[in-house]
């Protein structure tokens, strides 16, 4: 009896709550802009609000071992990042460059070394929450949002083990993640003027106007071997106008090209278009301004031309001549202009195509 009562009370609360929820989410609670937007449901917020902050707000419950992480890593991550997170083939390396001493001090000593070839993720990242958040939201590269929270704990545990931040038998969970000591946890500074528009700059230039640098020294130039490393610069600038590109497939020219641009590529080069079949010729040579496939425009349609000359001997030569010099009278009084710009080959292609009815 008691149990039943309790159940019915629960049920009625649930029903009430559900009605309430429906009511809330159906209406707009806006004061200023009525009719715009609606309340987000808790389920919607939960689906999208997956971020994890440095204080671990947002971190789901769960756990994963280094060993499980290694299995997932080898299946889903190693192809890009390398078996030990060391690969520099596709992305910059994940692990390497940190020491046991760094874990004690919270500052990665190798970051001071200007000879250090690479900065790995573990050398830089100050917070373990960053790893968890990013892996869960965006990895694997080609299948984001496919990992479970437990998978993610396992992968983070594995990465931490690569940096010897946790032992090989470690099981990372929401309970112990706050204990992880990242090697570069003290390596970040926000003491600078670039976080706020009113911040103070760290340096300033000099507004000197005259005799500022009596001896100008060039400290760095593009090495000769890199002249064409970004491909031909000539083809990355206009081929007309005052500012052309240098032809970097060749050594620099010996003297100024002069106003006519002697020796440089010219805009007309880009105008050369290889014929792309009769239909393209028909458009590019502007035949289509006066002729259409099936309808009479200024001139007759292609199908009417084909019908008229069907089976006539000598029609090819006759029309070839007509296209070249133009003419009037056959289809009415509006003359067809001469098309002398066409090569014999293009002219033949077009006429054969017209006689076939444009097929």
Partner 1 sequence: MTKKQIEISVQDISAIEKPSHRARLVKAPEHFISQELIADINANGLNENRRGFLRKGFMTALGGATAGLAAPLAMAAGEGDPAILEKQEWQTTLGKNVATMPYGIPSIYEANLIRRESPGLTRVSAASVAFTPLQGLFGTITPNGLHFERHHQGWYNLNPETHRLMINGLVKNPRVFTMNDLMRLPSVSRTHFIECGANTGLEWGNVAVPTVQYTHGMLSCCEFTGVPLKVLLEECGADLKKGKFMLAEGGDGSGMTRTINLESCLNDTIVAWGMNGEMLRPENGFPLRLVVPGVQGVSWVKWLRRLEVGDMPWNSKDEAVHYIELMPNGDHRQYASIQECKSVITTPSGGQQLLDKGFYNVSGMAWSGRGKVKRVDVSFDGGNNWRTARLETPVLTKSITRFNIDWVWDGSPAIMQSRAMDDTGYIQPSIKTLRNVRGTRSIYHNNAIQSWKLDSNGEVSNVQVG
Kindly identify the residues of this chain, within the stretch 193-222, that bind partner 1 according to CB under 8 A: 193-199, 201-214, 216-222
Task: Tell me how crowded residue 326 is: count the other CB atoms within 10 A of its CB.
Answer: 13
Q: What are phi and psi of 336, to 5 degrees?
A: -90, 130
- Report the residue from 13, 295, 321, 352 that binds partner 1 according to the rule CB under 8 A: 295
User: What torsion do the CA atoms of 22, 27, 29, 35 make, to the nearest 10 degrees?
Assistant: 150
> Which member of 67, 86, 150, 240 binds partner 1 (CB under 8 A)?
240
Residue 65 or 97: which CB sits closer to partner 1? Answer: 97
Strand-pairing partners, residue 32, are: none
- Closest to partner 1 by CB, 276 or 359: 276
- Classify residue 269 by its DSSP letter: G
Of 1-9, 62-70, 263-271, 312-320, the segment contacting partner 1 by CB under 8 A is 263-271
Stretch that binds partner 1, among 3-11, 161-169, 290-298, 306-314 (CB under 8 A): 290-298
Stretch that binds partner 1, among 1-9, 53-61, 70-78, 158-166 (CB under 8 A): 53-61
The one among 187, 278, 300, 358 contacting partner 1 by CB under 8 A: 187
- Which two three-digit tokens encode residue 216? 């100008």
In Å, how far are 122, 123, 135, 158 from 107, measured between CA atoms? 11, 9, 23, 21
d(CA 180, CA 172): 9
Q: Does 326 bind partner 1 (CB under 8 A)?
A: yes
Choose, by CB under 8 A, the member of 273, 311, 313, 314 that binds partner 1: 273
Question: Residues 10-49: x/- map of binding to partner 1 (CB under 8 A)?
Answer: -------------------xx-xx-xxxxxx---xx--xx
User: Closest CB to partner 1 among 89 and 168?
Assistant: 89
How far, in Å, CA of 160 to CA of 139, rounded?
17
331 binds partner 1 (CB under 8 A): no
Site for partner 1 in 125-164 (CB under 8 A): 125-127, 129-130, 133-134, 137-138, 141, 144-145
Of 65 and 153, which has the nearer Cβ to partner 1?
153
Cα 209 from Cα 302, distance rounded (Å): 72
- Choose among 275, 280, 303: nearest CA to 291: 303
DSSP characters over 86-130:
---SSS--SS-S--HHHHHHTS-GGGG-TT-----HHHH---HHH
Among 119, 181, 322, 348, binds partner 1 (CB under 8 A): 119
Cα(42)–Cα(24) distance, integer angstroms:
12
Q: Are 129 and 42 in contact (CB under 8 A)?
A: no
The least CB distance from residue 209 to partner 1, in Å, is: 5
- Residue 64: CB minimum distance to partner 1, A: 19
CA distance 170 to 68: 10
């Amino acid at each position: 009896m008691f149990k039943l009562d309790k159940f019915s009370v629960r049920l009625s609360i649930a029903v009430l709550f559900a009605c309430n929820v429906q009511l809330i989410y159906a209406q707009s609670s806006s004061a200023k802009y009525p009719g715009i937007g609606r309340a987000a449901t808790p389920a919607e917020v939960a689906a999208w609000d997956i971020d994890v902050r440095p204080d671990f707000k947002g971190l789901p419950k769960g756990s994963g071992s280094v060993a499980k992480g290694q299995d997932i890593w080898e299946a889903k991550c190693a192809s890009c990042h390398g078996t030990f997170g060391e690969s520099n083939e596709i992305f910059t390396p994940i692990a390497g460059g940190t020491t046991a001493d760094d874990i004690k001090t919270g500052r990665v000593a190798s970051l001071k070394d200007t000879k250090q070839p690479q900065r790995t993720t573990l050398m830089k990242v100050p917070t373990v929450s960053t790893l968890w958040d990013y892996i869960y939201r965006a990895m694997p590269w080609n299948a984001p949002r496919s990992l479970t929270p437990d998978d993610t704990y396992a992968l983070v545990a594995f990465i931490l083990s690569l940096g010897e931040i946790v032992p090989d038998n470690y099981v990372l969970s929401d309970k112990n993640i706050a204990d992880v000591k990242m090697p570069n946890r003290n390596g970040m500074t926000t003491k600078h003027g670039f976080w706020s528009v009113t911040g103070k700059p760290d340096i300033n230039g000099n507004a000197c106007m005259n005799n500022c640098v009596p001896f100008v020294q060039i400290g760095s130039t593009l090495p000769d071997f890199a002249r064409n490393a970004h491909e031909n610069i000539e083809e990355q600038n206009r081929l007309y106008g005052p500012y052309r590109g240098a032809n970097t497939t060749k050594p620099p020219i010996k003297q100024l090209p002069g106003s006519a641009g002697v020796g440089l590529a010219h805009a007309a080069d880009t105008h050369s278009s290889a014929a792309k079949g009769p239909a393209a010729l028909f458009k590019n040579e502007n035949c289509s301004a006066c002729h259409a496939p099936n309808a009479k425009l200024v001139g007759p349609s292609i199908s009417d031309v084909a019908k008229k000359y069907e089976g006539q001997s000598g029609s090819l030569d006759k029309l070839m001549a007509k296209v070249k010099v133009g003419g009037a009278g056959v289809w009415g009084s509006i003359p067809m202009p001469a098309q002398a710009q066409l090569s014999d080959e293009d002219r033949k292609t077009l006429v054969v195509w017209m006689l076939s009815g444009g097929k």
